[in-house]
Structure 1
Amino acid sequence: MSDRFDINHVYDILGLKPGASVDQVKQAYRQMAKTWHPDCFFEPQQKLEAEEKIKEINQAYARLKSYQPNEINQSASTSTKIDTTVSNAEGFYKLGMEKAQRGKYAEAIEDFSQAIRLNPNYFEAYKYRGLACSKLGYENRAWSDFKNAKELELKRKKTPPKPASSPPKPTTPPPKAQPQPSPWKCIHTLTHLNWVFTTAISPDGQTLASGSSDNTIKIWHLNTGKLLHTLTGHTKWVRCLAYSPDSQTLVSGSDDSSMMIWQVSTGKLLNTLKVHSTPVFSVIISPDGQTVLSGGTDTTIKVSHLGMGQLLHILKGHSDLVYSLAICPKQQILVSGSADNTIKLWNLKSRKLLQSLNQHSGWVTCVAISPDWQILASGSYDQTIKLWNINTGKLINTLAGHHNYVWSVAFSCDGEHLASGSADHTVKLWNISTGQKLYTLDNHSDWVNSIAFSPDGKTLVSGSRDMTIKLWQCDI
């Protein structure tokens, strides 16, 4: 097939005539992507067909982006020449990452697809294209990309490195500073069938709950790691969990837009709240156990009565996804972290916005409050953790040491230490007063999405995209 015929077919896929302008191509692509979004269809077969159509549309758009206009004046036998070096693939990959961080997932998918076309073994591009697809609801495409990424990554690890043509002369490496050995040891590894997004430890320290992209919630005995219940009911990924103050009730939030209320002792589903129409990313139960506060992709925070399941109030102020919530009972303050790069502090009683903290340069993915109610910690896509005075909003310190997004932060019960989980596959522990990084726990093989301390501070829990939950105990 000649390149001229091929490019004409690509124009036809987008409903355009050959020679359409760049703006016309973009406009046509956006319109078709919107028309064929799988969420517009209800039957499973229709959704599958829509996902295939979206794939074809994305490939056509990627082809047109690399097409040189002067080809129109060349002979049909002249093929488009594209530089297929790894650096070009990396360039598209970086563009995709930048667009994904700004929430432009459809455009990110295009760039990741181009990177894959130039380098079919680019497992990172598959992985993050899958994540972008999942953000847009293309679940089948996401699963396919995650599968390909895992296979390529395993293949790379199994392939021995090629020997150099002329081996370098052996040299004595300079002595490295030995890191301080960690007193935290992994005592149990628990598993889900897919990514672990969230973990929570009950206030009484008896049970651990975990939520996963396998659509289930598991309740474990914290000390032994024994599985007590597997809770099924959500139809999409479980993003967040929260225990009631009396440890008897668990609330879960999901990509299926619902919150489910469970009885911890029996695993029984008590009620389902449907106050959101989009995925729920954060939940927390009020100190009096009467209300549940939730946030998600609709940018609002909703306050619902836990017993009656009724929506009571809506807090508006964020302009993007609400990733995380925390409550300071002493000052009656609600803290929210968002993909709009801000942290907002609200008065719980009046529901008025008190102040907005905006010194992060990326999505604020997690917030936590110290046990003495004085310090607020926040983690971000900008790879830093910031400590704030919760009463004044003044920045106290910035903790730098992670090499990728920070997904979760948690204070120890004595308030002296902070634990953080990151996309760099590590858990780090910090000294709050000095800001010093104390230990790094690197037993996970993928993003660490969630961190939780037990009430007595003796156990630390981490949940990861490697499909495991690790229970750590300190031997000092």
Structure 2
Amino acid sequence: METEHGAPLRGLAELAERSAKRTRLVYARTVLKTPGVESDPALRAYFSTKIAREYGDVQILPDVIRAQQGATATPRSKAKDTGASMEMAHVLDTLESERGIGPTAAPSASDGTVSVRAAFAAKPRSESQLESALIGTSDANHAADGQSMLSRALQRKKELARREAQPTPHPQWKLMRVISGHLGWVRCMAVEPNNQWFATGAGDRMIKLWDMASGQLKLSLTGHISTVRGLAISARHPYMFSAGEDKLVKCWDLETNKVVRQYYGHLSGIYALGLHPTLDVVVTAGRDACARVWDIRTKAQVHVLSGHRGTVASVLCQEAEPQVITGSMDATVKLWDLASGRCTNTLTQHKKSVRALALAPHEYTFASGSAGGRNIKRWRCPEGTLLNNMTNEGIVNTLAVNPDGVLFSGTDTGSIRFFDYDTGVPFQSIEDIVQPGSLDAEAGVFCSTFDQTGTRLLTGGADKTIKVYREV
């Protein structure tokens, strides 16, 4: 085969050989034949050190990988190391012959040179020392089995998490007493700070005070013209606060058993009431989709906490930030800054209406309950970080937490469930027993609270009774 000028075409092997020779001549003139490289010991030492530094690590397997592979990989790695060393020696011989250096004796330390071969002849560190430092003496046998350190670390992490998730053992709870006296659904209750008595409010527009020890009725208070939905007893003043669907907030003097102040301003029925533990303010919320902050003494409306798009069904007050927490039928929980009256965070993880909130007395968290899905959630204050989820079948109407880490939840179907608060693991589930003569549909639990010791639980329901539970 010929070209246009009649010259025969050269073979592929001949063309490749010519190209290689030209490339070699170009680089030999510019790099390898640089004047002074062969004669200058400093330049020789520089190039030798650079080669050792850049290519020395790829001669052998890293010690970490060799320790992971164990004894089975040792002969193979040694064979690879021998082959790599022979190949590198051949490259060095070729390089020295092209430079015209030739094999020379090992330079002395006095002339400051470093041999290329000496740089590559360095021995690796002891494998046993590195193996003992990385995986310890007790795990050396596992490394021989070929199990990686990463998988063992993951297994240890899972075992540790499993141990931490073990719930704290709690005693079982048993029904101790059933108290009758209301003529309507029991919608709210509060325990006196000295744990001597407790108060309940119901659909019969009455507020009743009961003796804690005997369960006997001590006093009945009238004044509301609609269902009483919120109660709070002050630990700093001899006052009790009540709120109802009649849009009124009342302050009762417990020494005279009379109303001393009334707070006006809500545009619709009030569904929740919370009393601040250290400030002279009371917070109420209801169907007008906002929470209102009242000054106890002056009856002035300090803030209107607006932002919810539905009925605000629950409200909490605490000393630390956030000082006000609200739960609404729009399926959100809002955290409020009481000083500025602004929302600091909105929690949207619930899928349905939030009807219950409860503060943990033993840690800086709170719980919320809604109507569906994983309907009980635990949050960390002050930012509102979700910690875990719990489930109770039905619409959760009430939550309560005691200092021992027991979370109680009651639903509209009468399902009662006790959880370990820290892990969210349920340890007891029972069904509410309706009062004889009531319908089965009246088994719903609307309100609950623990006494000041945390050993007795009070619940109010649709069968118009108050039930007292205690630890077995």
TM range (shorter): 0.5 to 0.7
User: Does residue 1:303 correspond to 2:293, yes or no?
Assistant: yes
Selected match of 1:435 from 415, 424, 429? 424
Within 1, Cα distance between the matches of 2:279 and 2:253? 14
Is 1:197–1:450's contact at 8 Å kept on the other side of the alignment?
Answer: yes
The separation in 1 between residues aligned to 2:427 and 2:181, in whole angstroms, is 27
Q: Which residue of 2 aligns with 1:33?
A: none
The residue that corresponds to 1:355 in the other structure is 345
Query: How far apart, in 2, do the equivalents of 1:350 and 1:239 lie?
Result: 27
Q: Does residue 471 in structure 1 map to residue 468 in structure 2? A: yes
Work out whether residues 171 and 471 of structure 2, in 8 Å CA contact, stay in contact via their aligned partners in 1: no
Matches of 1:426 and 1:181, distance apart in 2: 19
Distance in 1 between residues matched to 2:279 and 2:210, nearest whole Å: 22
1:420 to 409, 419, 424: 409
Rounded to whole Å, the distance in 1 between the matches of 2:200 and 2:433 is: 16
> In the alignment, which residue of structure 1 is the partner of 2:111?
none
Counterpart Cα distance in 2 of 1:291 and 1:436: 36
Aligned to 1:74: none
Compared with structure 1, are the counterparts of its residues 182 and 247 closer, same or farther at alpha carbon in structure 2 (3 Å cutoff)? farther
Cα separation, partners in 2 of 1:396 and 1:261, compared to 1, 3 Å: same
What CA distance in whole angstroms lies between the structure 1 residues aligned with 2:227 and 2:211? 23
Closer/same/farther in 2, CA of residues 345 and 216 from structure 1, 3 Å limit = same
Q: For 1:178-225, what per-residue CA distance to the aligned partner results, in whole angstroms no more than 9, with x for missing partners?
A: xx9933332342331011111111222122111111111111111211
Structure 1 residue matching 2:180: 3-state secondary structure:
strand
TM-fit CA distance, 1:247: 6.5
Q: Does 1:323 align with 2:313?
A: yes
Question: What corresponds to 1:194 in structure 2?
Answer: 184
The amino acid that maps onto 1:466 is D
CA distance in 1: counterparts of 2:173 and 2:312, whole angstroms: 35
Out of 230, 236, 239, the residue aligned to residue 246 of structure 1 is 236
Rate the CA distance shift 1:253–1:367 in 2: closer, same or farther, 3 A. same
Identical residues among aligned pairs (%): 29
Aligned residue runs from structure 1 range 362-381, under 5 A: 362-381=352-371
The answer to whether residue 224 in structure 2 is matched with residue 227 in structure 1 is no
- 1:259 is displaced (CA, Å) by 0.8
What residue is the counterpart of 1:270 in the other structure?
A: 260
User: Counterpart of 2:386?
Assistant: 395
Distance in 2 (alpha carbons) for counterparts of 1:181 and 1:472: 12
Deviates more, 1:307-316 or 1:183-192: 183-192
State the shift of 1:340 in Å: 0.8
Q: Which residue of 2 aligns with 1:40?
A: none
Whether contact under 8 Å (2:329, 2:353) holds in the other structure is yes
2:445 matched to which residue of 1? 448
| Partners of 2:367 and 2:321 in 1: CA distance | 16
Secondary structure (helix, strand or coil) at the match of 2:422 reads coil
Indicate if the aligned counterparts of 1:190 and 1:225 stay in contact, CA closer than 8 A. Answer: no
* Whole-angstrom CA distance in 1 between matches of 2:332 and 2:417: 23
> CA RMSD of the aligned region, Å?
1.8
TM-score (ref. length: structure 1) = 0.59
8 Å Cα contact 2:379-2:387 kept in structure 1: yes
Task: Using the TM superposition, give the Cα deviation of residue 284 of structure 1 relative to its aligned residue in structure 2, in angstroms.
Answer: 1.1
**Structure 2 residue aligned with 1:386:** 377
Instruction: Name the structure 2 match of 1:47.
Output: none
Larger radius of gyration: 2
Q: How does 1:121-136 map onto structure 2 within 5 Å?
A: none
3-state DSSP of counterpart to 1:367: strand
CA distance in 1, matches of 2:378, 2:254: 33
| SS of alignment partner, residue 386 of structure 1 | strand
1:70-95 CA distance string (max 9 Å, x none): xxxxxxxxxxxxxxxxxxxxxxxxxx
Q: In structure 2, what residue type is equivalent to 1:363?
A: S
Segment drifting more, 456-465 vs 370-379: 370-379
Task: Report the TM-score, using the length of structure 2 for normalisation.
Answer: 0.60
Structure 1's consecutive aligned runs of 4 or more residues displaced over 3 angstroms after TM superposition are: 180-183
Q: Which amino acid aligns with 2:194?
A: D
Unaligned runs of 5+ in 2: 1-169, 435-442
Matches of 1:468 and 1:241, distance apart in 2: 17
CA contact (8 A) 1:426 1:444 kept: no
